[in-house]
């Protein structure tokens, strides 16, 4: 067993009863009895730092997403619980798009909801870890109680999800439907006992019986060993370690149950010609087994994305270290930020972390730790290719329902992972999807443009999509499509505009006015999609003038007045770009705007201060009257404060502004 622990963290044995905590919260919010679990883990040990309140909702979301990705990498569970384990992981994965969409919502109710979700998730994680590395004999013996824990977890998850604050979160209709569908699945989850489980239960009863003459029947014992996959010396070695760990946990097993488990283990050992041992009192395992104790795996040896030990650690621009393959997949999916800190990266270059790699290799050699090899599954890859080929073929079907079904399924596949995006593009789907953009069916249009959005995360696909002439059709949907189609069209234009040639094409195709309209009149999500697209497009000089002509300034000023929308930094960033344009300076250089800038410089967030100072410097460098206006609102003392307490960039901008003020002799 490998315990993941921070190197500076003491193994104090502190525990947290998450099961009881979740139930207590549910009792406070719902006037009904909590779930009565007959056998649960009374204590869930968490060898991780507690998520502090100042980590915010995003911190909790990132924690859940990281562990979901880690759990998805686990391919083996104990046979007796394998089906339920994969069902539980599958249900958690359904939440990934939902969790991605609720990033950025920092309200108390959102924080409370995600915190409750995290607590249920940690209980589920503990259950899955037990089924991954726990004693096979115990899990078979206690199968009914373990199954009760699964269904208890389903019910707890459902009780949290039905309280989702959909109105406040403003998530997409599709994701909301997925959450509602998941709740229905969780309600229907029922206890199952198939034929093999019944036979296993009967065999367990026989071998544990003191009076049944078949309790030493070699045929029954061999059958049990096969079902529990305890037929090799290596399997028995791991089972011995798992049982030893289980026995040392206080209050988990009665003395009688411990003895039953050890007796059956020894019967399995005898089948392999091994010496029986009494590990209830003997702490040292027989010499025929390799000496093994619980290893404490240093936390810094794990990739923050996969939570697996790193073979080829590399450093990115933020100074964080990741497994090379994992971070390359992250960048390949179109991400330009650090997965751990969420900080935007100045570049995507990777530097080998030789020092850490040497430490990992030395630690593995010293502790005789063999790094597991990653398995590939060509069979499943071929199945995925076949599925994609069928979907692409169905896009050209003469049956409307078949087209609808295929484009919706392709939309989901394209969202899942980078590999699917490449498969779909290689199968020739992009030209067909572009044709469907002009199809006279709002549902097909919405799914087609969203599929192209998902595919465009891949850099090569961006070029393929634009080369097929998709941009004018996407703009048409942005102007006339349904709400979600318009929002996803804006997001698609943002993604495509990462290529400089597409910035020009979108501008010349009159794509900026409908984006400004969405920024002015759209939902919160629509405003965000439009804002990010307009920022990217405004990096092109000609597009700045087009944006100003389309009336972008007033919607941006409106965003500065509403802090609850959480778009102040983005709005200031676009205003900074517009301030470099003569017409832009004229449009934004109002006295009230200068006062707003000074207010952000005085008491905004560090990023607010950074952006506002940059905008004022750009304005003042071209027209000293802006500096004079800012001085009237007391900007000088706030700038002095930033020079000592602001971010590095804000300090540079503040010092430059102070020098500009001195030169103008306006103090």
pLDDT at 512 over 80: yes
- Residue 440 C-alpha from the chain's centroid: 35
Q: What is the pLDDT of residue 38?
A: 31
Sort 653 into a burial class: Cβ within 10 Å, 0-12 / 13-18 / 19+: buried
pLDDT over 90, % of the chain: 18
How many Cβ atoms are within 10 Å of 314's Cβ, its own excluded?
22
CA distances from 69 to 65, 72, 88, 96, 176 (A): 6, 5, 13, 9, 21
What band does 434 get if pLDDT is binned at 50, 70 and 90? very high
Q: Indicate the DSSP class of residue 646.
A: S
Instruction: Collect all residues with Cβ–Cβ distance below 8 Å to 238 and sequence separation of at least 6.
Output: none
Q: What average pLDDT does the segment 293-302 reach?
A: 67
Contact 188, 155 (CB under 8 A): no
Q: What average pLDDT does the segment 252-279 reach?
A: 72
Bridge partners, residue 5, by sequence = 298
How many Cβ atoms are within 10 Å of 529's Cβ, its own excluded?
26
Which residue would you say has higher pLDDT here, 20 or 326?
A: 326
pLDDT at 28 over 90: no
How many Cβ atoms are within 10 Å of 188's Cβ, its own excluded?
8
Q: How far apart are CA 356 and CA 398, in angstroms?
A: 58
Q: What is the pLDDT of residue 373?
A: 59
pLDDT at 383 over 80: no
pLDDT in tens, 550-575: 999 999 989 988 888 888 888 998 99
Which residue would you say has higher pLDDT here, 602 or 257?
A: 602
β-strand pairing of 321-323 with 313-315? antiparallel
Q: How far apart are CA 497 and CA 189, in angstroms?
A: 45
Both tokens assigned to 614: 């940059």
Tokens 């597009």 -> residue = 543
Which residue would you say has higher pLDDT here, 54 or 570?
A: 570
Q: What is the pLDDT of residue 288?
A: 31
Instruction: Collect all residues with Cβ–Cβ distance below 8 Å to 356 and sequence separation of at least 6.
Output: 300, 301, 310, 313, 321
HSE on the CB side for 58, CA within 13 Å? 10
Q: What average pLDDT does the segment 29-35 reach?
A: 37
Both tokens assigned to 573: 């960033």
What band does 293 get if pLDDT is binned at 50, 70 and 90? very low
- Per-residue DSSP letters for 448-496? HHHHHHHHTTSHHHHHHHHHTTHHHHHHHHHHHS-HHHHHHHHHHHHHH
pLDDT at 656 over 50: yes
Contact 68, 93 (CB under 8 A): yes
Q: Which long-range contacts (CB under 8 A, 24 or more apart) does 259-262 make?
A: 260/141, 260/208, 261/135, 261/137, 261/138, 261/141
Beta strands in 121-217, from DSSP E residues, in sequence order: none
Q: Indicate the DSSP class of residue 213.
A: G
- Residue 193 C-alpha from the chain's centroid: 34
Q: What is the pLDDT of residue 665?
A: 61
Mean pLDDT of the chain: 78
Both tokens assigned to 280: 């209830």
Contact 185, 497 (CB under 8 A): no
Q: What is the pLDDT of residue 530?
A: 92
What band does 598 get if pLDDT is binned at 50, 70 and 90? very high
Both tokens assigned to 134: 């726990």
Number of alpha helices (DSSP H) and beta strands (DSSP E) in the chain: 35, 5
Which residue would you say has higher pLDDT here, 372 or 115?
A: 115
pLDDT in tens, 198-246: 567 767 777 776 665 566 666 677 878 888 888 887 788 888 888 888 7
Q: What is the pLDDT of residue 31?
A: 38
What band does 435 get if pLDDT is binned at 50, 70 and 90? very high
pLDDT at 55 over 70: no
Contact 485, 411 (CB under 8 A): no
What band does 145 get if pLDDT is binned at 50, 70 and 90? confident
pLDDT at 36 over 60: no
pLDDT in tens, 241-264: 888 887 776 556 666 677 778 888
Which residue would you say has higher pLDDT here, 140 or 38?
A: 140
Q: What average pLDDT does the segment 28-47 reach?
A: 34
CA distances from 407 to 9, 101, 387, 393 (A): 50, 22, 13, 11
pLDDT at 49 over 70: no
Q: 563 φ, ψ to 5°?
A: -70, -25
Q: What is the pLDDT of residue 549?
A: 92
Q: 3-class SS at 344? A: strand
What band does 296 get if pLDDT is binned at 50, 70 and 90? low
What band does 599 get if pLDDT is binned at 50, 70 and 90? very high
How many Cβ atoms are within 10 Å of 3's Cβ, its own excluded?
12
Bridge partners, residue 322, by sequence = 314
Q: What is the pLDDT of residue 210?
A: 65
Q: What average pLDDT does the segment 588-592 reach?
A: 77
Contact 612, 604 (CB under 8 A): yes
Instruction: Collect all residues with Cβ–Cβ distance below 8 Å to 19 and sequence separation of at least 6.
Output: 37, 40, 41, 42, 44, 123
CA distances from 352 to 327, 357, 358, 549, 662 (A): 12, 9, 11, 48, 46
Both tokens assigned to 515: 């984006």
Q: 3-class SS at 351? A: strand
What is the chain's length?
A: 667
Q: What is the pLDDT of residue 490?
A: 93
Q: Indicate the DSSP class of residue 301.
A: G
What band does 485 get if pLDDT is binned at 50, 70 and 90? very high
Q: What is the pLDDT of residue 430?
A: 93
Instruction: Collect all residues with Cβ–Cβ distance below 8 Å to 234 and sequence separation of at least 6.
Output: none
pLDDT at 287 over 90: no
Sort 319 into a burial class: Cβ within 10 Å, 0-12 / 13-18 / 19+: exposed
**Which of the listed ranges 55-69, 305-319, 325-339 does the model predict with the highest average pLDDT?**
305-319
Both tokens assigned to 455: 């595919």
Q: Specify the range with the lowest mean pLDDT, choosing from 42-56, 117-131, 322-336.
A: 42-56
Q: How far apart are CA 657 and CA 14, in angstroms?
A: 52
Q: What is the dihedral of CA 649, 650, 655, 659, to 10 degrees?
A: 100
Contact 259, 280 (CB under 8 A): yes
């Amino acid at each position: 067993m490998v315990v993941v622990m921070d190197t500076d963290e003491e193994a104090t044995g502190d525990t947290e009863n998450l099961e009881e905590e979740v139930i207590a919260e549910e009792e406070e919010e719902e006037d009904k009895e909590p779930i009565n679990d007959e056998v649960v883990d009374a204590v869930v040990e968490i060898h991780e730092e507690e998520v502090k309140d100042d980590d915010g909702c995003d911190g909790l979301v990132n924690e859940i997403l990281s562990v979901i990705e880690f759990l998805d990498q686990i391919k083996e569970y104990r046979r007796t619980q394998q089906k339920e384990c994969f069902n539980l992981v599958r249900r958690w994965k359904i939440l990934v798009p939902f969790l991605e969409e609720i990033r950025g919502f920092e309200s108390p109710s959102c924080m409370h909801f995600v915190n409750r979700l995290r607590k249920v998730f940690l209980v589920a994680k503990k259950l899955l870890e037990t089924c991954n590395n726990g004693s096979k004999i115990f899990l078979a013996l206690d199968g009914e109680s373990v199954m009760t824990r699964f269904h208890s977890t389903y019910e707890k998850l459902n009780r949290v999800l039905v309280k989702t604050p959909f109105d406040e979160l403003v998530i997409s209709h599709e994701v909301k439907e997925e959450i509602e569908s998941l709740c229905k699945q969780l309600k229907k989850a029922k206890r199952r006992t198939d034929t093999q489980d019944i036979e296993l239960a009967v065999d367990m009863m026989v071998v544990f019986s003191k009076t049944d003459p078949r309790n030493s029947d070699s045929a029954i014992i061999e059958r049990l060993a096969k079902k529990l996959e305890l037929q090799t010396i290596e399997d028995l070695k791991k089972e011995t370690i798992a049982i030893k760990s289980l026995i040392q946990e206080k209050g988990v097993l009665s003395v009688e149950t411990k003895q039953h488990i050890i007796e059956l283990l020894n019967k399995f050992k005898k089948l392999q010609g091994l010496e029986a041992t009494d590990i209830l009192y003997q702490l040292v395992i027989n010499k025929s087994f390799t000496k093994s104790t619980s290893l404490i795996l240093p936390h810094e040896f794990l990739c923050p994305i996969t939570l697996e030990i790193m073979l080829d650690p590399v450093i990115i621009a933020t100074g964080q270290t990741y497994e090379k393959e994992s971070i390359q997949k992250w960048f390949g999916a179109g991400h330009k930020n650090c997965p751990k800190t969420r900080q935007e990266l100045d570049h995507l270059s990777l530097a080998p972390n030789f020092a850490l790699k040497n430490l990992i290799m030395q630690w593995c050699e010293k502790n005789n730790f063999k790094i597991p090899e990653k398995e590939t599954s060509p069979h499943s890859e071929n199945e995925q290719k076949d599925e994609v080929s069928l979907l692409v073929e169905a896009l050209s079907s003469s049956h409307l329902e078949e087209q609808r079904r295929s484009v919706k399924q392709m939309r989901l596949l394209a969202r899942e992972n980078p590999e699917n995006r490449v498969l779909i593009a290689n199968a020739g789907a992009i030209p067909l999807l572009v044709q469907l953009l002009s199809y006279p069916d709002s549902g097909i249009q919405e799914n087609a443009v969203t599929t192209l959005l998902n595919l465009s995360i891949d850099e090569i696909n961006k070029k393929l999509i634009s080369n097929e002439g998709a941009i004018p059709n996407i703009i048409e949907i942005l102007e006339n499509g349904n709400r979600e189609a318009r929002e996803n069209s804006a997001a698609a234009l943002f993604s495509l505009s990462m290529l400089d040639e597409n910035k020009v094409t979108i501008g010349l195709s009159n794509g900026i006015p409908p984006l400004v309209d969405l920024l002015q009149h759209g939902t919160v999500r629509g405003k965000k999609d439009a804002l990010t697209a307009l920022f990217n497009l405004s990096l092109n000089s000609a597009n700045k003038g087009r944006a100003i002509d389309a009336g972008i300034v007033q919607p941006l000023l409106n965003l500065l007045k509403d802090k609850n929308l959480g778009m102040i930094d983005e709005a200031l960033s676009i205003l900074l770009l517009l301030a470099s344009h003569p017409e832009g300076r004229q449009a934004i250089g109002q006295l009230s705007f200068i006062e707003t800038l000074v207010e952000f410089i005085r008491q905004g967030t560090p990023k607010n201060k950074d952006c506002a100072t940059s905008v004022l410097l750009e304005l003042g460098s071209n027209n000293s009257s802006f500096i004079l206006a800012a001085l009237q609102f007391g900007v000088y003392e706030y700038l002095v404060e930033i020079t000592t307490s602001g971010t590095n960039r804000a300090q540079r901008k503040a010092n430059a502004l102070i020098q500009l003020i001195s030169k103008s002799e306006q103090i």
